[in-house]
Amino acid sequence: MSDRLEQQFAFLNEADRLKSVLRATTLVDGSRPENSGEHSWHLALYALVLADQAGPGVDINRVIRMLLVHDLVEIDVGDVPIHSANGLAHGSVETVAAEAKAADRIFGLLPRDLGHNLRALWEEFEAAETPDAIFAKSLDRVQPVMANLMSGGGTWTTYNVTAEQLESRVGVKIAKGAPRLWNWIKGQTAAFFAR
Amino acid sequence: MSDRLEQQFAFLNEADRLKSVLRATTLVDGSRPENSGEHSWHLALYALVLADQAGPGVDINRVIRMLLVHDLVEIDVGDVPIHSANGLAHGSVETVAAEAKAADRIFGLLPRDLGHNLRALWEEFEAAETPDAIFAKSLDRVQPVMANLMSGGGTWTTYNVTAEQLESRVGVKIAKGAPRLWNWIKGQTAAFFAR
């Protein structure tokens, strides 16, 4: 059992580093960049609170588990912002390869059974094909929209994002997993983009 | 539906403030104090990874949900460290009353059904009587022990904590929900307290 606990804590102590990975998005009050650890907590809370927005067949407990591990690869790769043109491109072949290598290392710290299960959850999130993953991805797109709205622009201002770009880069993905939610959020963003 | 979403996001935006509540414990690398948002994420991940340490009758999905909301009252009350003698005392009548008032305000932002459910989860955690809450409390005590171990002392050094105080303030509670885990961790801490 000791070896198993050593592996479990090697992973949990390594995971701590996600708290030092900074995102492009700020806190709601705009005071500082958000880190990927606290972002993962906020997203899991989103799933708990917005469960009534999930489509049929979505298991919120699995969505929460998925969101808890969805950004761990950023410990090696960093956050790859959607709206930025610098560094690794979001969804590029290079980014996908770097994240797979990071997953090998990080989930590989765990006992084999646990590492296999959590990596499968992360891969399911990345593939965005199951109802659980599609809803999780929607929430991952909603949370930065709310932070930008609350902080008065955030990354939309930094990267000169237009309403059309928000629709094509973000809105389409939110609408796929949570159509009523995107409809409501779009209404909230209208005043900002009409300014 | 719009009113409901407004209430859900009023809560989720308010919850963001937990990322600005600082704890006595530092990150594993000792670089800065941990905040209660990222702490809540790390704990939920602890539950996912250490599920095999839970006793019979523990529902890990409920433990994870509980841990996601367990510190929200700190938005109003702040973190009340176990080892510190300053400010509000951990578990004192004053702290309990202040936290109940905070729960009224924060969970009260939600639609009635959701607010009721999440507040009940938080109250169950605080009461520490059900198997789920007892295990959740154990994890909440384990995580700072690991941070102190990894960072070379942390709050044990700050507050001159002895091995006996660690046993009585922390170990007893960890052992209640996860006895094998406390046995292993105590072995890990022996070298530090023998220095």
pLDDT digit string, tens, across residues B23-81: 999 999 999 999 999 999 999 999 999 999 999 999 999 999 999 999 999 999 998 88
Longest dimension (CA), chain B: 61
CB contact under 8 A, A184 and B45: no
Name the residue among A29, A68, A187 with its Cα closest to residue B13: A29
CB contact under 8 A, B181 and A19: no
**Residues counted in chain B:** 195
Share of chain B above pLDDT 70, in %: 97
Question: Who among A8, A28, A38 is closest to B49 (CB)?
Answer: A8
Per-residue pLDDT at A1 exceeds 60: no
Contacts of B117 in chain A (CB under 8 A): none
Question: Burial, A31: exposed, middle or buried (Cβ in 10 Å; 0-12, 13-18, 19+)?
Answer: exposed
Question: Who among B38, B49, B50 is closest to A38 (CB)?
Answer: B38
ipTM of predicted assembly, 2 dp: 0.95
Name the residue of chain B whose CA is nearest to A183's CA: B2
Tell me the C-alpha distance between B173 and B188, whole Å: 17
Radius of gyration of chain B, Cα coordinates, nearest whole angstrom: 17
Q: What secondary structure letter does DSSP report for A89?
A: P
- For A18-28, the pLDDT digits (tens) are 999 999 999 99
- Mean confidence (pLDDT) of chain B: 94
Contacts of A41 in chain B (CB under 8 A): 18, 37-38, 40-41, 44, 68
Per-residue pLDDT at B1 exceeds 60: no
Residue A104: φ, ψ to 5°: -55, -50
Mean pLDDT, residues A23-52 taken together = 97
* Cβ(B96)–Cβ(B88) below 8 Å: no
CB contact under 8 A, B1 and A184: yes
pLDDT of residue A133: 98
pTM of the model: 0.96
Tell me the C-alpha distance between B135 and B191, whole Å: 26
Per-residue confidence band for A126, with pLDDT thresholds at 50, 70 and 90: very high
Least Cα separation, residue B150 to chain A (angstroms): 8
